[in-house]
Structure 1
Amino acid sequence: MPTSEGERSVLALKRGTLDVRLSVPVPPNRQTPHEQDELYAVICGAGVLIHGGERTAFAAGDLLFVAAGVEHHYADFSDDLALWRIFYGKAGGEG
């Protein structure tokens, strides 16, 4: 990564509402809120997830959850950060 189009993620699986990508973020990491609930499975690296006014430290092996519509981004993350980004469920989240 990045891909020839400059993307920092690669689609691994898409089926129904499920969308799984391998992602390698770069600073500054700013994201817009997403319509679906989202999981991040941290493959390697470490950092802090800022979400809904909270700070959650993470490292390789952690699984993170961000509800649909919640503003979030990574901060203070290592250069080797790689994770699986998983969107699932209906727009607006599963509540």
Structure 2
Amino acid sequence: MQIIDSGRFVPAADGSADFAEHLSVPALSFGTYSIPAGAKDDQSPHNEDEIYVVTSGRASFTSGGETVEVGPGTALFVPAREEHRFHDVTEDLVTLVFFAPAYSGIPQD
């Protein structure tokens, strides 16, 4: 067993969005993604399926041509290689992020 300290708001040193990976095994990886209010989410599609679980904050999220409002408790599934983005972040946002298989860090093919 491993206890992981996650779900706290931790932006990058320059105040921008920040992804921190906490666990990686071949089948999946887990991290947190913090986006300050008003900041830009500039991620690119990945080669892995992904699940976000919002733990705090509020924003809009667009994926697959659909936009939804998100807040604490919202869970989102994004298939591999699908363009997606958080935007209009009105409250500092923290999400738990799960990738399957483990996040490679390699942009989509």
Q: Same fold (TM over 0.5)?
A: yes
Matched, 1:54 2:66: yes
* RMSD value, Cα: 2.4
Q: Distance in 1 between matches of 2:11 and 2:92?
A: 13
Query: Normalising to structure 1: TM-score of the pair?
Result: 0.81
Q: For structure 2, list consecutive stretches of 5 or more residues without a partner in the other structure.
A: 1-9, 105-109
Q: Distance in 2 between matches of 1:79 and 1:58?
A: 11
Measure how far apart 1:79 and its partner are. Answer: 3.3
- Match of 1:61, as an amino acid? G
2:22 alignment counterpart: 12
Alignment of 1:66-85 (within 5 A): 66-85=78-97
Q: For structure 1, list consecutive stretches of 5 or more residues without a partner in the other structure.
A: none
- Match of 1:15, as an amino acid? V
Identity, in percent, stands at 28
